[in-house]
Amino acid sequence: MSRKESSKIDSDQNNQNPPVEPPSTGSNVDIQQELNRIEEMVLASPNIPLTRRTLVDEERLLDQLDVVRVNLPVVFEEAKAIVKQKKEIILQAQLEAEQIVETAKIRATRILNETEILRQAHQEATLLQNQVQQECELALEQSQIEIEQARLQLAQELEQMRNQAITEAKEIQVGADVYADNALKDIEQQLHDMLRVIQNGRKQLQPPATLIDKEEIMGKENVNF
């Protein structure tokens, strides 16, 4: 392939695959969308001639993975913020429940004078407080479990994408080596053919008297070659 044709192919590939934007840590980055871009990049990459391999732009692929890697901490921070917000809501609910309990105690103390009724109201308020506290603890524990499961799933998906990209890059390298070896074999055969043509031409240019000597010399040269 000539240098002009190679430059044209490189230019076409650059036009088809625009450069990846530098990694950003904004909260508006969609991790799933960035993973979809990696998949589209692999599917849109050009195929190696005479093979079923795909030539992936390693730099663009690593840049896109950097986008995902850089923004993962942001996603985790957002998840932590959600957990914190839920904790604040639960704490507010606990405070409101405690205020309700305290109000109930005050009203019970003010209205009821008999010891048995007051004791019963106190027991009910304690049970209500314990029930609310248990429900808040269960809700907080469930939220933490859900956040941890989401984090583990996201980490597994990212590891799978990374392993797949490494495997495909190795397969592409093997295909490129085979293609280059075949091309060099063709060039070697062409050089042998050209050498035979040159040798035959030189024989025809030699005088008849020295033709035998020249053939012997050329035969020795061929053996050395």
Give residue-wise pLDDT tens across range 56-114: 888 888 888 888 888 777 767 777 788 888 888 888 888 888 888 888 777 767 776 67
With CA atoms as reference, report the closest residue to 32 among 161, 166, 164, 146.
161
- Identify the pLDDT of residue 171: 83
- Identify the pLDDT of residue 87: 81
Kind plus residue range of the DSSP H or E element containing 213: helix 211-224
Report the largest interatomic distance among the alpha carbons of the chain, rounded to a whole angstrom.
145
Question: In degrees, to the nearest 5, what angle opens at C-alpha 112 toward C-alphas 107 and 113?
Answer: 130
- Identify the pLDDT of residue 117: 75
pTM of the model: 0.27
- Identify the pLDDT of residue 216: 60
Q: Which residue is it, tokens 């921070």? A: 77
Which residues are paired to 54 by β-bridges?
47
- Identify the pLDDT of residue 7: 37
Low-confidence ranges of the chain (pLDDT < 70): 1-29, 75, 108, 112-113, 207-225
Q: How far is CA 117 from CA 100, 105, 113, 120, in A?
A: 18, 11, 8, 5
Length, in residues, of the chain = 225
With CA atoms as reference, report the closest residue to 80 among 139, 32, 150.
150
Question: 63: Cβ–Cβ under 8 A, 6 or more apart, which residues?
Answer: 19, 20, 22, 23
- Identify the pLDDT of residue 200: 87
